[in-house]
Amino acid sequence: MDIQEYEIADVKLITAKQFTDARGSFCEIWSDRRFRSDVENVTFVQDNQSVSRLKGTVRGLHFQRPPFSQAKLVCVIRGSILDVAVDIRRGSPSYGRHVAVKLDAASGTQLWVPIGFLHGFCTLEDDTEVFYKVSEYYSSEHDEGVYWNDPDLEIDWPVNPTDAVLSDKDQRHPRLSELPDFFTYNP
């Protein structure tokens, strides 16, 4: 497992070692022991899968507030996405900044999005499937978000805002400046 860190050190890109031969390829995409020792000591309680039919579909920016906060481990099993994690931990030196990385099925890369971050993605291909593990069960009462195209976040989305495919809910999220402080940075 190769782990790449970013300026926002808590977000990590994980690439599993792939073994290829005439049949195709094999890789170990999940190992509880390795993840706990090399990335984060976390227990995942739920696996989620989304299918987006159209290129330019945006899902996010989402999070769950305490006490049902979720960390996520995200990968693509068909197609590709621009995956985004935004730091919303008050007091963090990277508050309001983001990591944006392309994830695709061919590379097998995964993005670790810890608690205290917004998460969202934009599909780069039609019929894209995203699979992610979460560290807490879904709670509709704690489900929150920030407007995906908040200009203060300066995310360079790969879709024109008028062409983006969004849910009604994602179009109504507040801007980051309107969000209460749900998370505090603890170095």
Q: Report all structural domains of the chain as residue ranges with CATH numbers, in order of start.
A: 2-180 (2.60.120.10)
Instruction: Please tell me the predicted confidence (pLDDT) of residue 16.
Output: 87
The model's pLDDT over 50-69, given as tens digits with 9 standing for 90+, comes to 999 999 999 999 999 999 99
What is the per-residue pLDDT for 85?
Answer: 98
Residue 187 has pLDDT above 90, yes or no: no
Each residue of 108-131: pLDDT tens digit? 899 999 999 999 999 999 999 999
* Residue 80 or residue 107, greater confidence: 80
Whole-number percent of the chain with pLDDT over 70: 100
Catalytic residue set: 62, 132
| Three-state DSSP class for residue 119 | strand
Whole-structure pTM value = 0.95
Going by DSSP bridges, is the β-strand pair 80-87/143-145 parallel, antiparallel, or unpaired? unpaired
User: Can you give the pLDDT at residue 143?
Assistant: 97
Q: What end-to-end distance do the CA atoms of the chain give, in Å?
A: 25
Give the pLDDT of residue 29. 85
State the chain's mean pLDDT as an integer: 96
Contact 71, 40 (CB under 8 A): yes
Q: Is the pLDDT of residue 1 over 90?
A: no
pLDDT tens, position by position, 7-54? 998 999 999 888 889 999 888 888 999 999 999 999 999 999 999 999
State the pLDDT at residue 129. Answer: 98
Buried/exposed code over 76-91 (b: 16+ C-beta within 10 A; e: otherwise) = beebbbbbbbbbbbee
Query: Residue range 94-105: average pLDDT?
Result: 97
Amino acid at 51: V
